[in-house]
């Protein structure tokens, strides 16, 4: 294998294959976790009208400048369509959320009164505007309530619905096809000689789903280049990103390289990362004209998973219109030996707020240690141990 390229260079190569998915319009209630593709503008103010902030009595503040008893003209409930008028020297019994009668400029809470039905005794003064939520005090009609590029969370959806917008333009969730390769792979428990349980399909599918994608698994595929190419072409028809595992090293049965490296634009080579040196990527043309990225990850389970986090997850973010992942940082609780010319991806655990420690006994293929980890340390190449107290990059797990 030729000289390995840095992790950053391969990530840039992968991201160059990806453009955000074309926007679609979905009901507001279905937009959770998607990225807004256009500004959402409020067609109406929020609140739409002046309304009571508490249960009580709508009054003129000037009429309650001292303890007083006022006749009660009636009751205004939330949802009442007609807006009554307040005659000076009277009160309207009013419920939270109900429109404030014209002429009223304050609400006296029940707790400040005797709760009278026909006549109410009010024992405290009230300032003008007290306990009234004014129209437009939260959102002004015509203003942008959610900007383009926002990752839509429950609070965003509540605001969008609150201003009466029933659908939004978003980048859809990417569709990911997962293809594990290897004649030795079996679904479920391996029992025969030479059989290996297929964990890559499970791990990569779960990681893609956790990154916000919808997932379809196509593997495992045997070590036959023609069969693999047929599966990749079929997957590209249904997916926005195809992820393969295995078959890209330097062995006699590297089915993915054999099937794809001759196709225009595909690259296979070494990346300076451990685990996960062999990598590949390219584009497959779908029948509808889409150029679908294909990421080819190594087959060793830990290398496949860490490669997905380093390269495929950023590609999914780009497809979904999300901003690049921010680098998470933590402080080492103990030294870490990084005497390597490659970036090391090491399982670690959190040992306190913002502090992490490498798990002992690390070997690059240990699924047990990966499952025990809280985070992955991403340690750049170096020739000396990184001391305790140093700040390092981490990839949180879970």
The pLDDT tens digits for 114-153 are 999 999 999 999 999 999 999 999 999 999 999 999 999 9
The string of pLDDT tens digits covering residues 3-32 is: 899 999 999 999 999 999 999 999 999 999
pLDDT at 180: 92
Domain with CATH 2.170.190.11 in the chain: 51-133
Nearest to 327 by CA among 394, 255, 257, 372: 394
Q: What is the DSSP letter of 387?
A: P
The CATH number of 7-21+172-319, from 3.40.980.10, 3.40.50.300, 3.30.420.40, 3.50.50.60, is 3.40.980.10
The DSSP 8-state label assigned to residue 266 in this structure reads: -
Cα–Cα distance list, 92 to 125, 151, 285, 304, 350 (Å): 16, 44, 70, 69, 59
Predicted pLDDT of residue 3: 85
Q: What percentage of the chain exceeds 70 in pLDDT?
A: 97
- Asked if residue 298 lies in contact with residue 364, where contact means CB atoms within 8 angstroms, the answer is no
Class of 51-133 in CATH: mainly beta
Residues of the chain with CATH 3.40.980.10: 7-21+172-319
CATH of 328-396, one of 2.40.340.10, 3.40.50.800, 3.40.50.1820, 1.10.150.240: 2.40.340.10
- With a threshold of 0.75, does the pTM exceed it? yes
What residues are paired with 145 via a beta bridge? none
Strands 132-133 and 35-36: unpaired
Q: Which helix (H) or strand (E) holds 214?
A: strand 214-217
Q: What is the pLDDT of residue 363?
A: 66
pLDDT tens string 64-104: 999 999 999 999 999 998 889 999 999 999 999 999 999 99
Question: Cα(280)–Cα(290) distance, rounded to whole angstroms?
Answer: 20
Q: pLDDT below 70 — which residues of the chain?
A: 1-2, 190-191, 193, 251-253, 362-363
Burial of 127 (0-12, 13-18, 19+ CB in 10 A): exposed
pLDDT for 183: 74
Question: What does the pLDDT read at residue 188?
Answer: 75
Overall fold of domain 25-46+143-171: Molybdopterin biosynthesis moea protein, domain 2 (3.90.105)
């Amino acid at each position: 294998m030729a000289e390995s390229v840095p992790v950053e260079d391969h990530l840039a190569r992968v991201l160059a294959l990806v453009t955000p998915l074309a926007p679609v319009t979905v009901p507001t209630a279905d937009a959770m976790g998607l990225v807004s593709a256009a500004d959402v503008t409020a067609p109406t103010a929020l609140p739409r009208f002046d309304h009571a902030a508490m249960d009580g009595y709508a009054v003129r503040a000037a009429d309650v400048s001292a303890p007083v008893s006022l006749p009660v003209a009636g009751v205004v409930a939330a949802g009442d369509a007609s807006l009554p008028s307040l005659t000076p020297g009277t009160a309207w019994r009013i419920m939270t959320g109900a429109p404030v009668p014209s002429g009223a400029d304050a609400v006296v809470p029940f707790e400040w009164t005797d709760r009278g039905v026909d006549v109410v005794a009010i024992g405290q003064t009230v300032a003008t505007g007290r306990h009234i939520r004014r129209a437009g005090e939260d959102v002004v009609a015509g203003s942008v309530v959610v900007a383009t590029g926002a990752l839509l969370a429950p609070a965003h959806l509540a605001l969008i619905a609150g201003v009466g917008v029933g659908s939004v333009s978003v980048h859809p969730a990417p569709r990911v096809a997962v293809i594990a390769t290897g004649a030795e792979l079996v679904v479920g428990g391996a029992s025969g000689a030479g059989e290996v349980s297929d964990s890559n399909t499970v791990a990569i599918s779960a990681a893609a789903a956790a990154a916000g994608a919808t997932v379809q698994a196509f593997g495992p595929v045997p070590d036959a280049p023609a069969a693999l190419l047929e599966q990749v072409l079929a997957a590209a028809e249904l997916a926005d990103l195809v992820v393969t595992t295995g078959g890209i090293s330097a062995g006699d049965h590297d089915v993915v390289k054999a099937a794809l490296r001759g196709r225009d634009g595909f690259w296979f080579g070494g990346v300076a990362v451990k685990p996960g040196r062999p990598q590949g990527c390219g584009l497959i043309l779908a029948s509808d004209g889409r150029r679908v990225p294909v990421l080819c990850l190594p087959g060793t389970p830990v290398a496949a998973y860490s490669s997905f986090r380093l390269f495929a997850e950023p590609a999914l973010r780009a497809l979904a219109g999300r901003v690049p992942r921010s680098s998470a940082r933590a402080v080492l609780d103990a030294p870490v030996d990084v005497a390597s010319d490659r970036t090391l991806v090491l399982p670690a655990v959190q040992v306190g707020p913002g502090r992490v420690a490498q798990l002992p006994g690390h070997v690059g293929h240990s699924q047990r240690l990966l499952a025990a980890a809280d985070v992955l340390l991403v340690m750049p190449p170096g020739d000396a141990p990184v001391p305790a107290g140093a700040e390092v990059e981490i990839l949180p797990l879970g």
